[in-house]
Amino acid sequence: MKLETVLAQIGSMEEKQTGAVSYPVYYATAFRHPELGKSTGFDYSRTKSPTRAVLEDAIAKLECGDAGFACSSGMAALQIVFSAFSQGDHLIVSLDLYGGTYRLLEQVMSRFGLTASYVDINNLDEVERVRQASTKALLIETPTNPLMMMTDLEKVSSYAKEKGLLTIVDNTLLTPFYQRPIELGADIVVHSATKYLGGHNDVLAGLIVTKGKQLSEQIAFLHNSIGAVLGPQDSWLLMRGMKTLALRMERHQANALALAEYLGSHEAIEKIYYPGLPDHQGYDIQQKQASGNSGIFSFRVKDERYVAPILRSIQLIAFAESLGGVESLLTYPRVQTHADIPYEVRQQIGVDEKLLRISVGIEHIDDLIADLEQALAVAQAEIESL
Ligand SMILES: *Cc1c(COP(=O)(O)O)cnc(C)c1O
């Protein structure tokens, strides 16, 4: 079956008793046992819960993995995955990483002896340079955010297999609708489902998908032991959002491409970072391994003094953190999503004073262009009058 069909039908055939097309929200935390040694498959809801189980099966199927795990947030999903490692282990991680993941590694996991090196993972010479005897895994975001750096997942995961390393991919930006890392050789996929999968800026959730029996059992053990699981109402909300993922992604992509082209020709803009544009450095990799682009791109304004008036003057587009929802959001990574990354690291990779990131929603493109047009005009007039 095609992904559009799997998505639209999530949970619609699971409720046998009444035939309910929308799977019910089961709040029960305890489940009655018929007799000693017998179980309905449910005992206590931290371990397994009916509504969550439907969601977990759906994401495992969508990502072509063997097991899915729904967690209380994207960060909780990452923490559960990091807990599979031990004191003294080392990870190699994408440069230009999501700020919260960087913070979890550097300020929390490091205290438990898990260390990380940050490099452009697509450059295997760089990866080899930082690889240690204790290196256990690669953690990849592709494209990265905000700079949209690309990693060739097939190339890098086959290198990882050769060296005995696990490949973990944070697939938040493209979702399984556009990119399926396990098909390309990854072992674990992680999501902040708060973003595109939920899609409406109204549910905080994380997902993990594993490939193989041993990894699936290990993550199931950690998911239950740590307990940062997703509640039934949020599981239902997330499935409800995912049913329209295909339609939303197609509109996000079309709007982002049109807006990137508009901004690319605007005199106040210096550079656009969007993998959907042929002049992007990772365009070929993106074409090869993904079937579409997200609604996220970054742009660099010519003068940092444009930033404040733009953020003040946008009316339809919200100045807000997060991404992947139906409403367009404009973010200033330097002070928001990437504030926890040290100044020197940010400057080195280009997350600087002039960089803005937009998560393009599903509004009409004419209204989005008009909003940025008027905000840029205000900014230009203010700078000229100085
Ligand atoms: C938002 C985000 C996270 C963290 O997820 P939460 O749901 O906010 O905890 C992790 N990775 C990426 C790429 C993200 O965008």
- Domain boundary at 207, 242, 277, which? 242
275 lines ligand 1 (CB under 6 A): no
- In terms of residue numbers, what domain contains 65? 3-242
User: Phi and psi for 92 in degrees, rounded to 5?
Assistant: -110, 125
Q: What is the distance in A from the centroid of ligand 1 to the CA of 204?
A: 9
Q: How far is the CA of 192 from the centre of ligand 1 (A)?
A: 4
Q: Which residues pair with 139 in a beta bridge?
A: 93, 168
Active site residue 343: no
| Domain endpoint, select from 197, 225, 242 | 242
pLDDT digits (tens, 9 = 90+) for 130-160: 999 999 999 999 999 899 999 999 999 999 9
Residues 15-58 have pLDDT tens digits of 999 999 999 999 999 999 999 999 999 999 999 999 999 999 99
Model confidence pLDDT, tens digit, residues 193-252: 999 999 999 999 999 999 999 999 999 999 999 999 999 999 999 999 999 999 999 999
Q: pLDDT confidence of 340, banded at 50, 70, 90?
A: confident
Q: Residue 125 above 90 pLDDT?
A: yes
Residues 29 and 129 in one domain: yes
**Domain check: are 218 and 260 in the same one?**
no
Query: 90 and 154: one domain?
Result: yes
Residues 277 and 356 in one domain: yes
pLDDT at 348 over 90: no
Q: Is 170 a catalytic residue?
A: yes
Q: Using a 6 Å cutoff on CB, does residue 357 contact ligand 1?
A: no
Over residues 326-342, the mean pLDDT reads 88
Distance between Cα 146 and ligand 1 center (Å):
13
- Does one domain contain both 255 and 367? yes
Please give the tally of structural domains in the chain: 2
201 and 250 belong to one structural domain: no
The finding on whether 119 has its CB within 6 A of some atom of ligand 1 is no
Residue type, 196: Y
Which pTM was predicted? 0.96
Please say which residue of 242, 261, 281 terminates a domain: 242
Best probe residue, ligand 1, of 93, 104, 151, 194 (max atoms within 8 Å of C-beta): 194
Confidence of residue 345 (pLDDT cuts 50, 70, 90): confident
Q: Quote the crossing angle between the two packed helices 232-242 and 50-62, to the nearest 10°.
A: 40
Q: Is residue 170 located within the same domain as residue 303? A: no
Give distance in angstroms: CA of 75 to centre of ligand 1: 6
| Annotation marks residue 196 as catalytic | no
Let me know whether 183 and 285 are in one domain: no
Q: Catalytic residue, from 52, 180, 195, 251: name it.
A: 195
Assess whether 129 carries a catalytic annotation.
no
Mark whether 206 and 230 lie in a shared domain: yes
* Nearest atom within ligand 1 for CA of residue 77: 9
Tell me if 234 CB under 6 Å of ligand 1: no
